[in-house]
């Protein structure tokens, strides 16, 4: 059995930046175990498998795997998969339109293409679920899991907490850019005190206007085989919605340019937005550019 694969760097305009993704444009005939083994073999943050949609009104069914587990939703695999399918022009014999609609375990994901002239250069997604704020997380737990001091955690605006719009993650604000740079995941703390079924990982962020950005972030998910993620669309789309929800304005359009992956040598740019009307979140999105890296064939 031979399977075509394509790898792309997501949330970047240049090769060897952003977050690498492997896309299997035709995953028919693969078992879940085989998909998991292929994702482990690529050993990237995620690998996506494209299947025919269950509803013909949709573009495709997409399954997403880290090296250790399947995810119900993730950001950079959606953006990268939309880019690959749109550049190919077809998926399972059907033309790919704009927007694309992906069926995933967390729900239906809409993606609008980003173009320069007629060329597809990226995509922007809307998450499959509304933002949900979950339980608070003790600052000392976040600090221990990320090799920080408790005093590095900023609690003036919010206590570290779990939030989700399809994938639960823990969010914590830091006081300084230096603290963000010094952070490192401790897998044993995650295993003992923040298990994967509670939160996929921890996203740390700091307000930093240098370099034309608004935020600098890092995300650690060691229990999923991702010690650090270069760009995390699912986390950052939840983050922009969460930050908008904290603002006092009843009507608000919040747009953020988010840098991630800088400290690991894979700089990424994620463009996030949230709309709030009459005190309620009405829309969230995350988008960015992609570049194709490799094409090849898997032998199974």
Residues 6+ apart with CB under 8 A from 4: 24, 25, 26, 295, 296, 297, 298
On whether the CB atoms of residues 102 and 109 are closer than 8 A, the answer is: yes
Neighbours of 185 (CB within 10 A): 21
> Six-digit token pair at 26?
């035709």
The answer for 16, left when phi > 0, alpha when psi is -120 to 50, beta otherwise, is: left
The catalytically annotated residue of 4, 13, 46, 116 is 46
Residue 232 and residue 19: Cα distance in Å, rounded? Answer: 8
Residue 46 appears among annotated catalytic residues: yes
Nearest-CA neighbor of 294 among 1, 96, 86, 20? 20
On whether the CB atoms of residues 259 and 267 are closer than 8 A, the answer is: yes
| Beta strands at 107-116 and 119-126: parallel, antiparallel or unpaired | antiparallel
Q: Which residue numbers are catalytic? A: 46
């Amino acid at each position: 059995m031979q399977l075509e694969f394509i790898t792309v760097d997501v949330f970047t305009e240049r090769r060897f930046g952003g977050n690498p993704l492997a896309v299997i444009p035709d995953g028919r005939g693969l078992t879940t175990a085989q998909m998991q083994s292929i994702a482990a073999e690529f050993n990237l943050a995620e690998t996506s498998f494209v299947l025919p949609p269950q509803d013909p009104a949709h573009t495709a069914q997409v399954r997403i795997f880290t090296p250790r587990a399947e995810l119900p939703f993730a950001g950079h695999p959606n953006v990268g998969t939309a880019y690959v399918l749109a550049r190919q022009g077809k998926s399972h014999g059907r033309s790919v339109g704009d927007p694309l609609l992906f069926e995933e375990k967390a729900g239906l994901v809409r993606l609008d293409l980003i173009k320069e002239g007629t060329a597809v250069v990226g995509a922007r997604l809307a998450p499959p679920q509304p933002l949900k704020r979950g339980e608070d997380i003790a600052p000392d737990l976040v600090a221990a899991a990320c090799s920080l001091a408790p005093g590095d955690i900023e609690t003036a605006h919010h206590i570290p907490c779990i939030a989700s719009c399809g994938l639960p993650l823990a969010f914590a604000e830091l006081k300084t850019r230096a603290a963000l740079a010094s952070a490192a995941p401790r897998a044993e703390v995650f295993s003992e005190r923040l298990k994967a079924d509670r939160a996929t990982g921890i996203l740390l962020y700091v307000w930093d206007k240098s370099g034309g950005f608004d935020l600098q972030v890092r995300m650690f998910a060691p229990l999923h085989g991702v010690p650090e993620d270069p760009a995390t669309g699912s986390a950052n789309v939840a983050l922009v919605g969460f930050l908008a929800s904290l603002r006092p304005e009843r009507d608000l359009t919040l747009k953020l340019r988010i840098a991630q992956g800088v400290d690991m040598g894979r700089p990424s740019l994620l463009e996030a937005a949230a709309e709030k009307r009459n005190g309620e979140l009405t829309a969230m999105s995350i988008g960015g550019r992609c570049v194709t890296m490799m094409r090849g064939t898997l032998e199974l």
